[in-house]
Amino acid sequence: MTSKISAKNINLFYGQKQALFDINLDFKEHSVTALIGPSGCGKSSFLRCINRMNDTILGCKIEGEITLDGQNVYNQNLDLVLLRASVGMVFQKPNPFPKSIYENVAYGPRIHGLFQNKKQLDEIVESSLTKAGLWKEVKDRLNDQASGLSGGQQQRLCIARTIAIEPEVILMDEPCSALDPIATAKIEELIDELKDNFTIIIVTHSMQQAARVSNMTAFFNMGRIVEYDTTDKIFTNPNNQQTQDYITGRFG
């Protein structure tokens, strides 16, 4: 399997404070990689390096290189709008726009001019909601406000909104932490289906979730990668004692 994303020698600083130290990671295409580790260990900071969300933070400086299909995302001439269209992001709390369900999904395709006519836009909206496992629940109420949906439905709407512009990579920053177990199970099922078409990187606090949804797992601690391997190996036979201690709940 080819690497979709490759991070080489990433160091990240917020002002004087260094948050990431020499991160090297390769992410395979059409797979799910989980980033686990205690709070404040750099998982989300690293995730935001991939689509340059850290650019918006004052005093943030990054060293090293991250490539997407061999192209350095920190290249000065790179179009950030195009990068974020290729690398979609789903946040911890569902954040639908204050618009109708239909307009939430149609928003990205409108901005990027991905359709010729209303019929094509309708098809994109239906297909994205179907892929996000939400179409059957909302097809008769597309003009209702998105804020009327339950938390789990709102998060699936945000996933539909993300995939409507056909990204290649989906970053998920603790997408289930605000959801109940039933909504969480639906999102996990969805992640499993989406990996056929997308490369997914998920930050999660839940070890059980990482074990259920991912193919590869990277264990972060204190801004460094302690261990990176297949999820099976990390959870059943890690090489590092620190990984073992974290997974069995001895620290973190």
CB-based contact 249:34 (threshold 8 Å): no
Nearest C-alpha neighbor of 155 from the set 84, 85, 92, 105: 92
Consecutive H or E run containing 201: strand 199-203
Rounded CA separation 184/206 (Å): 11
> What are the DSSP calls for 1-45, one per residue?
--EEEEEEEEEEEETTEEEEEEEEEEEETT-EEEEE-STTSSHHH
183-213 per-position pLDDT tens digit:
999 999 999 999 999 999 999 999 999 999 9
- Torsion sign over Cα 169, 172, 176, 178: negative
Average pLDDT, the chain: 95
> What are the DSSP calls for 63-88, one per residue?
EEEEEETTEETT-TT--HHHHHHHEE
pLDDT range class, residue 250, cuts 50, 70, 90: confident
The CATH code belonging to domain 3-247 is: 3.40.50.300
CB-based contact 104:153 (threshold 8 Å): no
pLDDT value of position 249: 87
What percentage of the chain has pLDDT greater than the value 70? Answer: 99
Residue 252 reports pLDDT greater than 70 = no
Amino acid at 103: E
99-157 per-position pLDDT tens digit:
999 999 999 999 999 999 999 999 999 999 999 999 999 999 999 999 999 999 999 99
pLDDT range class, residue 22, cuts 50, 70, 90: very high
Residue 217 reports pLDDT greater than 60 = yes
CB-based contact 214:28 (threshold 8 Å): no
Q: What is the pTM of this model?
A: 0.95
